[in-house]
């Protein structure tokens, strides 16, 4: 199995630009999670889906953030417009039970 | 609110020495408990988990953890540390059911000296 796939691995963009992060979960997993990791706040949940339906988006910082899961094999996290404080590593994880498997992350730098 | 505390931000251990990383949680009932490891620039890898039953759980890479309900703790241990164990370690909790999100501690960075 290829594991959770995230793209891009690195993204550098200018303030005000739109950023889209992508995630392909492990085949057969029905839960997908987006986490953000920063030095100040550590690892925190942004949003998660069960069976493609958003269950908890209380961690999404602002309306500038949106996430979709159009099918069981793909999810996106979009930031528009991006700001320097959005710089972080964004992880996607998937699960079919209680164990979550993490992707390698996308390191986002907003200048 | 649920929370996880890892009291030690950074620990240095000599190679071959034993290791214990502390984790305390705040939760109304017994949650699911996890330890993850993150090497620099990498994602998180699950070391071990506790759902129920035997309070001493074995994981990968020679790690084990013990759940102590009375202390709300889930400490990670390894009898003999290898240089390759240098990484950041995260304790996490989740509601005791499938398909729920993890709440992480702030992590403990382990350095191994020769």
Question: Band of the pLDDT at A49, cuts 50, 70, 90?
Answer: very high
pLDDT at A7 over 90: yes
Question: Band of the pLDDT at A57, cuts 50, 70, 90?
Answer: very high
Whole-number pLDDT of residue B1? 76
Q: Which residues on chain B are in Cβ contact (under 8 Å) with A96?
A: 98
- The DSSP secondary structure of A42-101, one letter per residue, reads EEEEEEEEETTEEEE-TT--STTEEEEEEETTEEEEEESS--GGG-EEEEEEEESSS--E
Instruction: Kindly determine whether residue B98 and residue A45, on different chains, have CB atoms separated by under 8 Å.
Output: no
Name the nearest CA neighbour of B19 among B71, B85, B104. B85
Kindly report the nearest CA distance between residue A103 and chain B, in angstroms: 6
pLDDT at A42 over 80: yes
Q: How far apart are CA B96 and CA B73, in angstroms?
A: 16
Instruction: Find, in chain A, the residue whose alpha carbon is nearest to that of B35.
Output: A99
Q: How far apart are CA A45 and CA B61, in angstroms?
A: 27
Q: How far apart are CA B11 and CA A92, in angstroms?
A: 28
DSSP state of A25: P
Could you tell me if A39 lies within 8 Å of chain B, comparing CB atoms?
no
Cβ A69 vs Cβ A54: under 8 Å = yes
State the alpha helices, DSSP H only, in B1-114: none
Whole-number pLDDT of residue B27? 87
The total number of residues shown for chain A amounts to 111
- pLDDT tens series, chain B, 114 aa: 789 999 999 999 999 999 999 999 998 788 999 999 999 888 899 999 999 999 999 999 999 999 999 999 999 999 999 999 999 999 999 988 878 899 999 999 999 998
Question: Band of the pLDDT at A1, cuts 50, 70, 90?
Answer: low
């Amino acid at each position: 199995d290829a594991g959770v796939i995230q793209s891009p691995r690195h993204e550098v963009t200018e303030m005000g630009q739109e950023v889209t992060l992508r995630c392909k979960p492990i085949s057969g997993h029905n839960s997908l999670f987006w986490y953000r990791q920063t030095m100040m706040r550590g690892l925190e949940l942004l949003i998660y889906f069960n069976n493609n339906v958003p269950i908890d988006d209380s961690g999404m910082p602002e309306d500038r953030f949106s996430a979709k899961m159009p099918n069981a094999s793909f999810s996106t996290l979009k930031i528009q417009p991006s700001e320097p404080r959005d710089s972080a590593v964004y992880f996607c994880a998937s699960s079919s039970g209680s164990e979550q498997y993490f992707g390698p992350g996308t390191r986002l730098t907003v200048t | 609110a649920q929370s996880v505390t890892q009291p030690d931000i950074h620990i240095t251990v000599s190679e071959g020495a034993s290791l214990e990383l502390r984790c305390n949680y705040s939760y109304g009932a017994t949650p699911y408990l996890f330890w993850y490891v993150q090497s620099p620039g990498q994602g998180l890898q699950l070391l071990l988990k506790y759902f129920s039953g035997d309070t001493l759980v074995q994981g990968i890479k020679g790690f084990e953890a013990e759940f102590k309900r009375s202390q709300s703790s889930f400490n990670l241990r390894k009898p003999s540390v290898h240089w390759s164990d240098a990484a950041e370690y995260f304790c996490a909790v989740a509601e005791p059911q499938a398909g729920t999100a993890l709440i992480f501690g702030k992590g403990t960075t382990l350095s191994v000296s020769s």
